[in-house]
Amino acid sequence: MHKVAVVSYGTSKFSKESKLSLFELACQPCIEILKKNKITKHKIDAVLFSTCSPEQYGSNIICEMLDIHPRISHRIESLCNSGTNAIVSAYSYISSGLCDSVLVVGAEKASTPANRLIWDISRGSFTYPVCWAALFARAHMRKYGTTEEQMAMISVMNHISAEKNPNALFKHKITLTDVMHSRKIVEPIKLLDCSYTCDGSSAVLLLSEHKAKEATDNPVWIKGIGQHTVGASFNKVTHDDLTTNRATRIAAQMAYNMSDFSPHDIDIVELHDAFTILQILAYEDLGFTEKGEGGKFNHQNEIAINPRGGILGCGHPLGATGLAQTAEVAAQLSEKAGKRQIKGCKTGLVHNLAAAGTSATVIILGV
Active site residues: 80, 316
Closest C-alpha to 346, from 259, 226, 257, 281: 259
Would you say 189 and 315 are in contact if contact means Cβ atoms under 8 Å apart?
no
Of 48-56, 148-156, 200-208, 281-289: span binding its own copies (CB under 8 A): 48-56
Q: Which residues, numbered 216-235, are part of the site for its own copies (CB under 8 A)?
A: 225-233
In whole angstroms, what is the distance from residue 340 CA to residue 342 CA?
Answer: 6
Closest C-alpha to 307, from 283, 279, 271, 353: 271
92 is an interface residue for its own copies by CB under 8 A: yes
User: Could you say which of 1, 124, 125, 344 contacts its own copies (CB under 8 A)?
Assistant: 1
Q: Which is closer to its own copies, CB of 309 or CB of 317?
A: 317
| 310-332 per-residue burial string, b: 16 or more CB within 10 A, e: under 16 | bbbbbbbbbbbbbbbbbbbbbbb
Would you say 220 and 6 are in contact if contact means Cβ atoms under 8 Å apart?
yes
63 is an interface residue for its own copies by CB under 8 A: yes
95 is an interface residue for its own copies by CB under 8 A: yes
127 is an interface residue for its own copies by CB under 8 A: no
| 203-242 per-residue burial string, b: 16 or more CB within 10 A, e: under 16 | bbbbbbbebbeebbeebbbbbbbbbbbbebbbeebbeeeb
56 is an interface residue for its own copies by CB under 8 A: yes
Q: Which is closer to its own copies, CB of 180 or CB of 254?
A: 254
The count of other CB atoms within 10 Å of the CB of residue 164 is 17
The distance of closest approach from Cβ of residue 116 to its own copies in the complex, given in angstroms and rounded to an integer, is: 9
User: Could you say which of 79, 141, 189, 350 contacts its own copies (CB under 8 A)?
Assistant: 79
208 is an interface residue for its own copies by CB under 8 A: no
Q: Which is closer to its own copies, CB of 86 or CB of 162?
A: 86
User: Could you say which of 25, 88, 104, 133 contacts its own copies (CB under 8 A)?
Assistant: 88
User: Could you say which of 16, 36, 69, 336 contacts its own copies (CB under 8 A)?
Assistant: 69
Largest separation between any pair of C-alpha atoms in the chain:
57
Let me know the angle formed at the C-alpha of 13 by 118 and 190, rounded to the nearest 5 degrees. 50
User: Could you say which of 332, 359, 363, 364 contacts its own copies (CB under 8 A)?
Assistant: 359
The distance of closest approach from Cβ of residue 149 to its own copies in the complex, given in angstroms and rounded to an integer, is: 34
Applying CB under 8 A, the residues found at the interface with its own copies are 1-2, 23, 47, 52, 54-57, 59-61, 63-64, 67, 69-79, 82, 85, 88-89, 91-93, 95-98, 113-114, 119, 225-233, 236, 251, 254, 354-355, 358-359
